[in-house]
Structure 1
Amino acid sequence: MNKFFLCIFTLLLLKAELHAQFNIIPKPLEVNSTSSGSFNLTDKTPIVFKQQSLQKSASFLNGYLSRFYGFSLKQSKAAAIKGIYLSLSNKTSSNPGNYALQVKNEGVFITAETEEGIFYGIQTFIQLLDPTAKGKTMEIPFVQIRDEPRFQYRGMHLDVARHFSPVSFVKKYIDYLALHKMNYFHWHLTDDQGWRIEIKKYPKLTELGSMRKGTITGFLPGNGNTNIPHGGFYTQEEIKEVVKYATDRYITVIPEIEMPGHASAALTAYSYLGCTGGPYKVQETWGVFDDVFCAGNEQTFTFFQDVIDEVVALFPARYIHIGGDECPKTSWKKCPKCQQRMKDHQLKDEHELQSYFVQRMEKYINKKGKSIIGWDEILEGGLAPNATVMSWRGEAGGIEAAKQHHYAIMTPGNYMYFDYAPSIKRDSLTMPGTTTLQKVYSYEPIPADLPLESGKYILGAQANVWTEYMNNPSKIEYMIFPRMSALSEVVWSSKENRNWDDFQKRLKQQFERYQLWQVNYHHIPIDVPAETR
C-alpha cells in the first residue's frame, strides 16, 4: 500500500513539475505559475473581443487550431462564462509589443496596449498548447505572463533570386516568423541569377531576366551544370497578396532591389544599362560579377526611378533595401561615361562614385516618403544622409554607422548567416562556414566595442537565408530550424533572461512543435557540447 501511495505522489509531483515548466520560446520577461490548476480548452470555448481590430489575432489563432488540432472556436463580442478574452488597455508605453497573459479558472485573458501586443500574446498562448495533444480538449495550466520585446527590429531574410520560392512557401515562411514573434521579412528579389518582381514599365525584366538556362552543380566553382532552366517571378498581384498576408501577422515586408551591383539579370533584359553593352546573361553560377549598372549613364537612374515608383506602390514599408554590396569597380574604371561622371562631380575614386550612386537614389527614395537600407558597403565613399546600415561583414559596419548616429541592423555572417552549415558534421551541400545553434544563441546584437551612448542606434538583428544551395522549401526549413528559434530569443528576450541550458530544456518541446507543423528541421542532440555535434 505504501508503494502505491508513493507512486501516486510521484506522479502528482511530476505533473506539478510539468505545469511549472512553461516551454515558451522566445522566453517571456516574467512567468509565474499561480497554482497547479488548469483551464480546459474545448471546441466550445469562445474567443471574446469587443474591438474589431482584434479580428486578425483571433483569426490567426483559429487558423492554427483548425490546421493543427482539427477544430476552431466561435468568435464573439458577448461575455461568456469561460472563454479566451482579448482586450486593449488604455495605457501607453514606449514598447508597443508588450502584453500580459493570464490563465485562470474563468478563462484565458490577453491584454495589451496595441493590436500587435495582442498578436504576440496569441503566439505565447499557442505555446501553452500541448503539441502532442489529440482530440478537442486540452488542459492549459494556470499562469501569469508579462512580456515585451527587447529590440524593435526582429528579422529574417529570404533570397528568392538564386532559387525561386513559390508564393505558398513564402506565406509559410511568414507564418514561421509570426510564430516566433518576428516582425520584419526582408525579401531579396533581384540578383545576378534572377529578377523576381514584375515591373510593368520594363516587361523584359521578367520575360528575360527571371529565367536562367541552367544551374551549376556541386560547390563553387561547380562540377557540372543541370542544363535545366530555372526561373519564376511574382506578379504585382501576388506581391500585394503576400504583403497583406504579412501585414495581417504584424510583419513588415522590406523589398530588396539590388543596385549598383548584382546586375546580370537586369542587364540581360536591358543591355544599355551596363557599361559595355553586353552581351550579358542571367548567371548560372554563384559569386560576384564585374558587369554592374553604369553609374555614368543617365538612363540607369531613369530606370531605377521608374522601378522604385512601382515598388513603392506595392510595399507600404518605411524601408526599401537597395543592396549596395559586392559592386566591383572594374567596369567603371574602363567606362568613359563613369570616368566623366567622376570628373564632373569631383569624385576622387570609384568608391565615391558608388556613394554618389547610392546617395542620388536615396534622395529619390526619400522624396517618395521612404528610407533606404543598404549592406555595410554603403559606408565606403561616404554614407548617405538618412541610410540605415545592415552590418554583414562582421560588426564593424554597424559600429561605424552607430557612431555616425545612423541606425544599424546587425547581421554578421559568422552568427547570422543560416546558409552556413548548422553542424560541423556537414550532411548536405552548404556554404563553407559553420554556425551552430549555440553560436546563434550566444550572439549579442549590441557590440561590446560600441560606446554606451550609441547603443540606441542598434535597431536589432536579422538572420540571412541565401539560397545558392537551397533549391527547395524542405532544405530551407532544415537550414532555419532550430536556429530561427534561437534567434527569436536573441532579439526578443531580455539579455538577463537568456540562458543556454534553460533554452535547451525548452527546445525539447519546440521540436515537438516542429513535428506538429510537419517541417523539416535539423535534429540535434540536446545537452551535447556544440563542438561535437
Structure 2
Amino acid sequence: MLIPQPTSYASRPGGWTLTADTAVDAPAEIAALLRELLTPATGLPLPDGPGELRFTLGGAAHLGDEGYTLIVDETGVHATAASLAGLRWAVQALRQLLPVAAYATEPVPGTAWTLPYVEITDRPRYPWRGIMIDVGRWYKPMSWLYTVVDLIAMHRMNTLHLHLTEDQGWRFEVRRHPRLTSVGAWRADSPVGHEHDGLRDDVPHGGFYTQDELRDLVAYAARRGVTVVPEIDLPGHTVAAVAAYPELGNFPEVQHEVATRWGIHDRVLNCDDATVQVMREVLDELVDVFPGELIHLGGDEVPPREWLEGASGRARMAELGLTDPEDLLGWWINQLADHLRGHGRRVVVWDELVGRGVPKDALIMAWRAQDRVVAALRDGHDVVATPQSHVYLDYNESMAEGEPLSIGFGPTPLSTVYGYDPEPTDAPDNGHRVVGVQGNLWAEYLPTPARAEYNLLPRLCAVAEAGWGTRGDEAEFRRRLAAQLPRFDAMGVTYRPLD
C-alpha cells in the first residue's frame, strides 16, 4: 500500500525476493540511492552489474519529468523514467513495497525482502509538493532536518521550504555580517504555555546553521530528489536582525533585544539604501549555499507603523510618490528580486505582495485563504496553494482532552487536510496556474523534534496525496495510512495516532 496512491496500480499473486546476489543495473546516482536507502536495513550489498534491479533512463517520456513505471515480476524489478527524478520516485515506491523493516536504521536479520508482483504507472499532478519547516522560532538540530528530508522524499514530495529567520532567531550564518548569528540567533527566554498566559521560562534559547552544514543538507536532499528552498523573511519578522544591527531599524538609537514573545511585531527594516545593501549581501551568501532557482523573501505580516513614524520610510514614500506605506513592501521586494535576478534566481513571496507591485515572475504562496489563490492568479502570478484553512499543520488536529498545546487556530483534522483540492473552481484563464501545494509547520508551540513530528504526521501524508493528485476515497486512504504508520515506527519518528 503506497502513499501517495500511484496513478495506476495493479497487483497479482506472487512476489520476487531480494537476496545477497541481487545486483543493480541503473544510472550511478540511482544505484547509490538504492544502496543508501535499502542496505542499512537489509544488509544486502546491491552491487553494480547486470542484475535483476533494473532502472532504465529514457523511457516513459509521456509521463513527464517525474513520472515513472515500475514492474515487479518473475524476472525481478524494472523501472523506467524520462529523468533521474522519475527513477528516484520509483526507488521510493519500491521501498514502500518492501516489508516495513526496510525503514529500519540497522540490519533486521531474518526478514524476507520480498516485493509483490505489481505494475505501476505513475506521475504527479503538481511540480511543487512541499513542506515548510520553521526553525526561526525554535532552533532544531540539523540531524532532525535530515529526518524531515527523508519523510518528504518517502512521500514523493520534492520541496523542503526552510524558514530560516524570524523575530525570535536568525539561523543562517552570514560571514560578512556575523552579528546576525552571534547576537540574532539567541534570545533571553521563551514563552511557557500559551503566549496569552504571559509566562516565561527564563532559559536562553538559540542556535544557527553554518553554511557548510546547510550545503551538506542540500546535497543530501538533492540525492533524494528534494530541493531546499530557503526563506529570509523581510522586511518584517526582522526583530532579530535589528537587535544584531540597530542601524537596520527605523530607530537605530534604540537598542532592541531578540524577540521573546510570539505574534506580529512592529519592528521592521528601514528603507535606507544601506539596509537594502546589507540584505543584498545576505542573499549573495545565501545563493552560494542554495543552488536552486527559487529564493523565498517572505513579505508577510509587515506593520507599516514604523515606516510612517520614522524618517527613512517617509523619505522613501516621498521619493516614490507613494501615499500608502504598505506599498513600500512591494518596493522592498523589488530591490532584492532585481538583485537575485542577476544571480539567475526567482523570488517566492507570501500573498501579502499580491497587488503591491511585486514582479510578475514572483511565485506567490497563498496562505491566508483559498480566495488568495484566485487573487494571485488574477494578478498574473503562478501560485503555490498553502491556505491556513487546510494545510497549516501547526494547528491542532482536534480539541479533544489530552491534545498537546498548539497555536489554537484549529482544529485542522486529517480529513480537512485530505479533502483539500488546491485547484480553485473559479481560476482565471490567463496562462497562470497553481503549480503546487504545501503544508506549513510553524513552530511557536513545537519546541522539540518530537513535538513537531506529532503535528506533522500523519497529516503530511494527506498533503502528499493532494500534491500527487490521486486523492480519492478517504476511507481507502485511511487503510493505506494504517499501513504507513509502522514505517514511521521503524524510522523512530513520532506521530499522532489515528482516531
TM over 0.5: yes
Q: What TM-score range do you get, normalising by the shorter chain?
A: over 0.9
Secondary structure in structure 2 of the residue aligned to 1:198: coil
- Offset at 1:70? 4.1
- Offset at 1:43? 3.2
One-letter identity of the residue aligned with 1:167: M
Distance 1:446 1:454 in 2: 15
Cα distance, 1:85–1:113 mapped onto 2, change above 3 Å? same
One-letter identity of the residue aligned with 2:405: L
- Offset at 1:454? 4.9
User: Is the contact made by 2:68 and 2:79 (CA closer than 8 Å) also made in structure 1?
Assistant: yes
Q: Bigger CA drift: 282-291 or 373-382?
A: 373-382
Distance 1:423 1:58 in 2: 43
One-letter identity of the residue aligned with 1:489: E
TM-score of the two chains, using structure 2 as the length reference: 0.95
Structure 1 counterpart of 2:284, from 293, 309, 318: 309
User: Is the contact made by 1:446 and 1:455 (CA closer than 8 Å) also made in structure 2?
Assistant: no
2:47 alignment partner in structure 1? 75
Structure 2 counterpart of 1:218, from 184, 193, 214: 193
Distance 2:432 2:331 in 1: 28
- Offset at 1:92? 3.3
Distance 2:367 2:485 in 1: 29
Structure 2 counterpart of 1:447, from 417, 424, 434: 424
- Offset at 1:290? 0.7
One-letter identity of the residue aligned with 1:58: A
Q: CA-to-partner distance for each residue in 1:278-329, whole Å, 9 max, x for gaps?
A: 221101110111111002x111111111111111111111111000000011
2:33 alignment partner in structure 1? 60
Distance 1:521 1:312 in 2: 34
Secondary structure in structure 2 of the residue aligned to 1:312: helix
Say how many residue pairs are matched. Answer: 490
Distance 1:422 1:223 in 2: 24
User: Is the contact made by 2:360 and 2:380 (CA closer than 8 Å) also made in structure 1?
Assistant: no
1:30 aligns with 2:8: yes
Distance 2:124 2:24 in 1: 25
Flag structure 2 segments of 5+ consecutive residues without an equivalent.
Answer: 103-107
1:528 alignment partner in structure 2? none
- Offset at 1:178? 0.5
- Offset at 1:450? 1.6
> Aligned ranges for residues 415-430 of structure 1 at < 5 Å?
415-425=390-400, 427-430=403-406
Cα distance, 1:314–1:408 mapped onto 2, change above 3 Å? same
1:281 aligns with 2:257: yes
Runs of 4+ in 1 over 6 A off after TM superposition: none
Distance 1:446 1:474 in 2: 32
Distance 2:160 2:44 in 1: 28
TM-score of the two chains, using structure 1 as the length reference: 0.89
Distance 1:363 1:396 in 2: 28
Distance 1:38 1:91 in 2: 24
Distance 1:91 1:491 in 2: 21
Flag structure 1 segments of 5+ consecutive residues without an equivalent.
Answer: 1-22, 526-533
Cα distance, 1:155–1:262 mapped onto 2, change above 3 Å? same
One-letter identity of the residue aligned with 2:460: M
Q: CA-to-partner distance for each residue in 1:132-174, whole Å, 9 max, x for gaps?
A: 5862423221111100011000000000011111111111110
Please tell me whether Structure 1 or Structure 2 has the larger radius of gyration of its CA atoms.
1
1:92 alignment partner in structure 2? 61
- Offset at 1:373? 0.5
2:105 alignment partner in structure 1? none
Cα distance, 1:448–1:91 mapped onto 2, change above 3 Å? closer
Distance 1:161 1:250 in 2: 25
> Aligned ranges for residues 9-408 of structure 1 at < 5 Å?
23-33=1-11, 35-49=12-26, 51-52=27-28, 55=29, 57-67=30-40, 69-77=41-49, 79-80=50-51, 83-90=52-59, 92-93=61-62, 95-131=64-100, 135-277=110-252, 278-295=254-271, 297-408=272-383
Distance 1:248 1:238 in 2: 16
Distance 1:91 1:140 in 2: 22
Identity %: 33
Distance 1:91 1:228 in 2: 56
- Offset at 1:93? 4.2
Distance 1:43 1:493 in 2: 37
One-letter identity of the residue aligned with 1:516: A
Distance 1:280 1:66 in 2: 51
One-letter identity of the residue aligned with 1:283: A
- Offset at 1:251? 0.9
1:514 aligns with 2:492: no
2:463 alignment partner in structure 1? 487
User: Is the contact made by 2:71 and 2:117 (CA closer than 8 Å) also made in structure 1?
Assistant: yes
Secondary structure in structure 2 of the residue aligned to 1:127: helix
Distance 2:419 2:216 in 1: 36
1:18 alignment partner in structure 2? none
1:501 alignment partner in structure 2? 475
Distance 1:429 1:454 in 2: 43
